Structures are given as structure tokens and as C-alpha cells.
Structure 1
Amino acid sequence: MIRRPRRTLPATIVGLMLFVAAVVVVISCAQLITGGPPLVAFGTLGELGRTTTWNDARVLAAGGILSSVGLALLACGLLPGRPQVLALAPGDDHTAAGISRRSLARDLTSHARRADGITGARVRVGARTVTVNARTPLRDRSGLPDLVRALVIERLDDINLARPARLRVTVTSDRSA
């Protein structure tokens, strides 16, 4: 069970570019109809198109830039995103289940905060790595990373992810202390 995010950024970028181009054309046409000077002079554009050659440096540069942007947007649209739901190990009845990254991060954060001497924690859940950054007001932090690691490992064992995650624990001094 892997739910991936929609690729709305490429669609939004292309949609906004087309919308801006359409608005500019509509404004120019309306100005021509009313007898005013157009925002974009179509005659000038036609003359520019007639006199410009394919081997002109501006045409090649614009083509290269537009091709690069197009390929980047195409890659964003085709490549899969980061999974939003992590699979859990199948149970005895072989049902598929999963947990969202946010839910897992919140759950592990609450367990990391339960350690004595820890005032705050932030958990980031990656594809194969769980990173815990805990804060403490204590000057002597010895033993705290192991305590936080034990609590988080215990919770990860209870959750039973399909792919075991590597765990990184860092304990830093609380700035407010």
C-alpha cells in the first residue's frame, strides 16, 4: 500500500503560464477592437517572426531554456513521489495495512518525549530512516540518546513496519535553558 502525492506543481506551472498568455492576448485584442494601442503589437510580433531565423542565438537560447523547463516538468509529472503511507507487516490474516508518515512521526515524537530529561523532540520519517532530534535542559546528556533510542525502538517494534527503518537519535541542549 503506497499512496503517492499528486503532481500538482507541474500542472499548476503550465496552467498559470497558459493563463497569463491567454490574458495578454485577450487584453491586446480588446485594445485593438477599441482602437487603443495594444499591449502586444501583433504586427511587431509578425515582423519579428518573419525576420528571425532558426540559427539565431536568441532562438536557440529560448529553445534550450523552454526544452529544459519542459523536460523538468515532464520528469516531475512522470517520476513517482515520496510514499505518503508506509506499509505495515502483514498479520496472520494477510491483510494489507499502512500508516501515514505524519501519524508515525507524531506517535514517535510523543514516545521520544516520554524519556526522563527530554523537554522536546522532533521526528522525521524518511523512506528507510527515522531521525529523532530531542532537546534537553540537562548539561550531562550521557545516556539520554540510548534512553530515547530504546523508547522509539520499542514503539517501532509495536508498530511493525514492513521495511525496518534505521534509527538516528540526536540529543541537543535546549536553547531556553
Structure 2
Amino acid sequence: MKRRPRRSIPATLTAVVLLLACALVAVVAVQMLLGETPWVRYDTVADALHDTRWSDLAPAIAGGLVAVLGLVLLMSAVLPGKPTVLPLQGELDSGASRRSYLSTLRTAASTVDGVAAAKLKLKHRRISAKVKTERTNTDGLTDAVRGAIERRLDQIDPAVRPTVKIKVHAPRSAS
């Protein structure tokens, strides 16, 4: 079970732009049917487009921008995002949310004696933990935090076990 994030932001932006364009066309069409002066005159747009050459700078810039926008939308649709639910071992199709997964590992790291704060990041198949301590002597703290995180990983039993990388940040020594 690997639920991926929805692509709601690119889809919403595309829908809003298309809605605005359709609304503008509808309003101009209704204005023309009623005999009123339209917001955008067809003759003005047609003359401006007729006078523009393919070798001019404006079509090249507009075409480049549309091509880049299209590539960005295509890549956001095709490339997978970070999984929102991480699969767990077992006979049942089960998973843990990314947020709760990191929260429980952060709690395990914070319960180690001497740890003031812990920040964890999950990237690909690696957990990076930055541990802050008030101790000046940090001997054994890295191993203790790694042990606590790995014990919690044993309890969680993820389908793909990540490697654990620990960095300890301590104040400067008093001597």
C-alpha cells in the first residue's frame, strides 16, 4: 500500500485558468448577441494577431512560456510524489501515515536520556535524525538514539526498513 499525494494544486490552477477563459468568452459572446460593446473586440484581437509574425519576439516568448507550463503540468502529473501512507509488513494490507511514522520515531529519539530535541526527516529509504543535547560529552548518545529508533522500527515493522543516520549537536565544551 503506497498511497501517493493527489495533484490538487496543478489541477486546481488549470481548472481556474480554463474557467476564467471560458467565462470571458461567454461574457463577450453574450455582449455581442445583445448588441453591446464587448470587453474584448474581435477586430482588435484579429488585427493584432494578423500583424504579428512568427519571427517576432512576442510569439517566441509566449510559445516558450506555454511550453514550459505544459512541461511542468505534465511532470507534476507523471512523476510520483512522496507516499502519504507507508506500507507495513504483515498479512494484512496495512500502512502508517508519513506524519505518524515520523512522530513515533521522534518520540522514541526524544525519550533517550540527554536528548533535548530531535528532528527527523524521511527521504527515500533513509531516516536522518538531528538530535540536540545540552551535554558537552556526547559519548554513546548517537548509539543510544540509533538503538531507540531501531527498536521502534522493530515494533512498527515497515515493509522497507530505512537506514538510520544520526547527527548530534551539542554546545561547545566549557574548557
Q: TM-score range by the shorter chain?
A: 0.7 to 0.9
Partner of 1:130: 127
| Distance in 2 separating the partners of 1:31 and 1:172 | 68
Does 1:109 find its partner at 2:127?
Answer: no
Local SS of the residue matching 1:5: coil
Local SS of the residue matching 1:119: strand
Structure 1 alignment gaps of length 5 or more: none
Local SS of the residue matching 2:100: helix
Matches within 5 A, 1:6-85: 6-22=6-22, 38=39, 40-85=40-85
Does 1:141 find its partner at 2:138?
Answer: yes
| Distance in 2 separating the partners of 1:29 and 1:162 | 58
Q: CA deviation at 1:35?
A: 6.0
For 1:112, the aligned partner's letter is A
Q: Please say if residues 131 and 168 of structure 1, whose CA atoms lie closer than 8 Å, have aligned partners that are also in contact.
A: yes
For 1:61, the aligned partner's letter is I
Partner of 1:170: 167
Identity rate of aligned residues, in percent? Answer: 33
Residues 66-117 of structure 1, C-alpha deviations (whole Å, 9 max, x = no match): 0121121012112222111111122xxx222211111110101111011111
Structure 2 alignment gaps of length 5 or more: none
For 2:68, the aligned partner's letter is S
Residues 109-167 of structure 1, C-alpha deviations (whole Å, 9 max, x = no match): 11101111111112222231111111111222222111111110111122111111011
Cα 1:30–1:136 change in 2 (3 A) is farther
Partner of 1:2: 2
Q: Please say if residues 128 and 166 of structure 1, whose CA atoms lie closer than 8 Å, have aligned partners that are also in contact.
A: yes
Does 1:88 find its partner at 2:88?
Answer: yes
Local SS of the residue matching 1:131: strand
Local SS of the residue matching 2:139: coil
Cα 1:45–1:120 change in 2 (3 A) is same
| Distance in 1 separating the partners of 2:43 and 2:15 | 27
Structure-1-length-normalised TM-score = 0.82
Q: CA deviation at 1:30?
A: 8.1
